[in-house]
Structure 1
Amino acid sequence: MKGRRIVLDHLGDREAAALLVDGQLDDFLIDADGPRPGTVYRAIADRPVKGQGGMFLKTLGGPAFLRQIKGLAPGQSIIVQVSGYAEPGKALPVTQKLLFKSRYAIVTPDAPGLNISRSIKDEQERDRLLEIAHDALEGAEVGLILRSSCANADAEEIAEDIANMVALAAEIAGDTGREMAVLAEGDGPHVLAWRDWTASAEVVTKPGGFALHGVLDALDVASGSALPVEGGAMIYIEPTRALVAVDVNTGADTSLAAGLKANLACARALPRALRVRGLGGQIVLDVAPMPKKDRRAFETALRQAFRSDDTETALVGWTPLGHYELQRKRARIPLSEVMR
C-alpha cells in the first residue's frame, strides 16, 4: 500500500501507535510502565552525589536524578520535567529546563525569544506566522518555537495551540506548593502521534487495527535481531546492557563492492530500525569490510539518513578497530522490554 497510515490501537493493555509508510512500519510508540517523558513533577531534593555534580530527588513517580544542582539543598522543593525513560534499576532522568511541546508550538519558559522552524523558508509564510505568534503570546514572557507543521496550517488552530501551551507554562510557573506532586502528565502514544506525525496520513482508530494492517507482523520481525536490507544484505541489531551492537553482513554478494553496498544499505535503514525498536544510548556499528577511501561515502549516507530523524543522535566516528560509534538519546522505551 502506498502512502502514510497512522494506526492507533493497544498492545495488550498498553496504548500504542504505529506509523506505516508505503506499507512498511516506519515508527512505533508504546506506553511504558514508568512515568512518561514530559511529565512535570514538584520534587523534593534528597541527597547529592559527590563527584557527579548531581542530586537524587524524591517524586511521586519514584526516585529521580538531576544534574547541575547549584544552590539546591536537601529538603528543598523543585519543579522538574522527565526528560527520558529510566534504564532498569536507575533513577528517572529529569531536567529543570521545562519545555511544553504540542503540534504547532514549543514553549520554553527559560529560553525567551521567538523562532520559526528553518524548514519554513517562504518569507510571506514566516511573516504570517510571526503575526499569529505575537497576537497569541499577548506579552507573555516565554520563549516560543513554531514547528514545521505550522506551514500553511489554519491560523486559529496555531493560535489556540500557542495559547494552551503558554497557559500551561504559566500555571506551572506560578506553583507555590511544597509537597511532592504531579503538575502535568506527559503525552501518551496517541497524543504523540497527533503531535509529531503531522504529514498527511490516513488515521485508523478502530480496535484491532494492528492485526488488520500488519503491524503485529512487523513487530514480530522487529523483536528479532536480524533485519534484511536492500541488495540482499543483512544487519543484526543486538542490545546489550552496555551498548547496542549492529553487525553488517553482505549476504550472498561476493563482489568487490559488496562491503560498501551493504554498509550504505545499513546507513539508510538504521534510523528506522532504531526508532521502531526504541533503542538509544551507545550504538556500535561493526561495518562490513570496505576500503578506507569509501568511509566518507558511508558517513555521508549515515548523516543524510539521520537528518530526518527527530531523536537526538550524535555521529561520533570511527574507532581504532574500524567500528563506527553513535550516541543516541534514550527517548523511547525499548521494544524488547514491552514484548516479553
Structure 2
Amino acid sequence: MIEVAGDSVDGLALAAVLKDGVVWDLRAADPAAPLVEGAVHWCRVTRSDPRGGGWGAIGDIPVRLAGGDARAALTGGPLLVQVTALTRPAKLAEVSTDIALPGRCLVHRPFGRGIHGAKRLPGFLAADWAARLPAAGGWIVRRRAATATPDTIDGDAQRLAELGRRLTAAAPSDSPAPVLPGLDPLRRLILDCEEPAAVRMASPDAARPLSAWCRHWAPEVADVVQVTPVDLSEPFVAAQSPDVALACGARLLIEPTAALVAVDVDLAAAASDRTANLDACRVLPREIRLRNLAGAVVVDLIGGAKAEADTKALAAAVADGFADDPATVQVIGIDRLGLLRLARQRRGAALADVLAGRR
C-alpha cells in the first residue's frame, strides 16, 4: 500500500511516501526560507554570461540564471523566471526562464513549444495528444497519463492552461513577491505519487486546506486525506547520518560532495563480498531517495571487478529500487574497478542542503 504523509520536525515541513508502512521518499523544506523551489518571480538581471544565461537578483537575493537572453534583459525589463534550486553552500540559488507547471498527468510549459512524453511513458506519440491539449505553450505528458481517465487528463490540462495564461499576462514588477507560489514538499509528492491509498496529516487544521487543494489539483486524491499522524522524526534523523548499517553486517558510507555523491560499501562484519554488495545494492535506492540526493552517484563495491552475472544482478537490484521513483534514474553499470555508476534527476532540494540553508 502506498501512502503520502506530512509532518513537522524541528520547524521543517516534511513529506514522505510510505510503501507498506516503510518510508521510501523523504522531502524537506524550511517554511522560513526566502525562496521556494518552483515559485515564479520577476528577476532583475545584473550580468550576462556569453555562454548563455547570467546573474541577477530577486529582491536582494542573488541568483544564477540558466537560459534566456540575459543580455537583452540588461537593457529591458525584468525576466519572468522559476526557482529551480535553492541557495546551497558555495552556490547561488538557480532560476530558469523555462517555466514548468506540474500537474498529476501533465506538465505545462507556458512559454515552451511542442508535446513531449516522459521517458518512462510507453507508446507515446505526440500526434495522438495534439488534439487533446490546448494549443498554447508546450506540454510534457507524464507517465501517470497512461492509466488516467480522459476526464482526469482533460481536467489537468484545463487547470494548467489557466495557470499558464495568468503567467503570460503577468505585468512586470520589481516586487520580490512570487507571481506564482511554489509547492511545499507534501503537495509536490501528491502530484508525483501514482495512486496513494491515503494522505495522512497530523491535525484537522492541516488536513482541511490540503483537502481543498486536492479537490482542485488532484480530485481523485481528495477523498483519501485523513487525520492519522505519522512520525517522520526517526527517518529524518537517520537520513542525516552518512553511515547505514546493512542486515548482512556490512555498512554503507554515503558522502555527497560538490561534484558527485560518493558511496562506499564496507565489508565490516558481513560474511562475503557478494552478500555485502547485493545487500548494498538493494538498500542503496531507498537511502538515496530518503536524502533526496541527485546528480552523479558512484558506488565503490567490494572486491574490484566482478563476473558478468554478478554485475548484472547488482545493477538490476539498484534499478528495481528506483523503478517507481518520480525522478528519472539512469543506472549506467559497473566498471572493471567495481565502481557502480548511476545518475538521478534532481527533484527538490537535498535534505543536507535544506539543513545547511538554516545554519
State TM-score, norm by structure 2: 0.76
Q: Is the 8 A contact 1:34 1:61 kept in 2?
A: no
> Equivalent residue for 2:48?
48
Q: Which moved more, 1:174-183 or 1:258-267?
A: 174-183
Write out per-residue CA displacement over residues 155-194 of structure 1, whole angstroms, 9 at most, x where no aligned residue: 4443222111111112212334253552211111221122
Q: Is the 8 A contact 1:35 1:61 kept in 2?
A: no
Which residues of 2 match residues 1-340 of structure 1 at below 5 A? Answer: 3-32=1-30, 33-49=33-49, 53-60=52-59, 62-70=61-69, 72-73=71-72, 74-76=74-76, 77-109=78-110, 110-113=112-115, 115=117, 119=121, 134=131, 137=133, 139-151=134-146, 153=148, 155-177=150-172, 179-181=174-176, 182-207=178-203, 213-254=230-271, 258-293=272-307, 294-315=310-331, 322-338=338-354
Structure 1 stretches (4+) deviating beyond 6 angstroms? Answer: 208-211
Q: d(CA) in 1 for partners of 2:258 and 2:137? A: 40
Q: Is the 8 A contact 2:115 2:141 kept in 1?
A: no
Q: d(CA) in 1 for partners of 2:348 and 2:167? A: 25
Q: d(CA) in 1 for partners of 2:122 and 2:341? A: 32
Write out per-residue CA displacement over residues 289-318 of structure 1, whole angstroms, 9 at most, x where no aligned residue: 154324344334334443432324454566
Q: Aligned-pair distance for 1:105?
A: 1.8
How many residues align? The count is: 327
State TM-score, norm by structure 1: 0.80
Instruction: Report percent identity of matched pairs.
Output: 25
Distance 1:272 1:151, change over 3 A: same
Write out per-residue CA displacement over residues 84-137 of structure 1, whole angstroms, 9 at most, x where no aligned residue: 3332242222222221111222112313236588646699xx99x95xx846x4
Structure 2, gaps ≥5 residues long: 207-225
Q: d(CA) in 1 for partners of 2:276 and 2:265? A: 7
Q: d(CA) in 1 for partners of 2:349 and 2:116? A: 32
Q: d(CA) in 2 for partners of 1:86 and 1:40? A: 16
Q: d(CA) in 1 for partners of 2:304 and 2:329? A: 24
Q: Aligned-pair distance for 1:195?
A: 0.8
Q: d(CA) in 1 for partners of 2:156 and 2:228? A: 33
Q: Is the 8 A contact 2:334 2:340 kept in 1?
A: yes
